[in-house]
Amino acid sequence: EIKLEQSPSEVKRPGERVKMSCIISGYTLTEYYLHWIRQRPGRALEWIGRMDTGKNSAIYGSTFQSRFVMTEEDSSSRQYLEIKSLTAEDSAVYFCARESTVTGNRGRAVQKHQLLKGSH
């Protein structure tokens, strides 16, 4: 069974950082890219970027190149997304998702809310 399990939700203040994880099992990790996506309230999905698993090589969407950092453990089974200098605009549901295959099969993306607490 293909599983992508994400770390629990967190509440952070503006200016802080958050590092979320995605634990992967059930398939050969190095055969698929691992994507990070987010959805802010009332907004469309946004592609943050993707990790070439096993190579620790990431590509980022144009608006996510400065404060967002994707990394992985040596085993590749644990992927991370870190966001630095959080703002209220970063409050969203964040997803990790496996690249689809040529047959269209997909892994499960497990969603977790990442919420920000006001600074006042």
Q: Are 4 and 96 in contact (CB under 8 A)?
A: yes
Q: What is the pLDDT of residues 17-42, one digit of tens each?
A: 999 999 999 888 888 899 999 999 99
What is the predicted pLDDT for the residue at 17?
97
Question: Up-side HSE of residue 25: CA atoms within 13 Å toward CB?
Answer: 5
Its domain, for residue 29, covers 3-116
Token readout for 104 is 């269209």
- Number of structural domains, the chain? 1
State how far the Cα of 26 lies from the Cα of 87, in Å rounded to an integer. 35
Instruction: Give all strands of the β-sheet with 45-52 in edge-to-edge order.
Output: 10-12, 112-116, 92-98, 34-39, 45-52, 57-60
Q: What is the pLDDT of residues 76-91, one digit of tens each?
A: 789 999 999 999 999 9
CATH number for position 87: 2.60.40.10
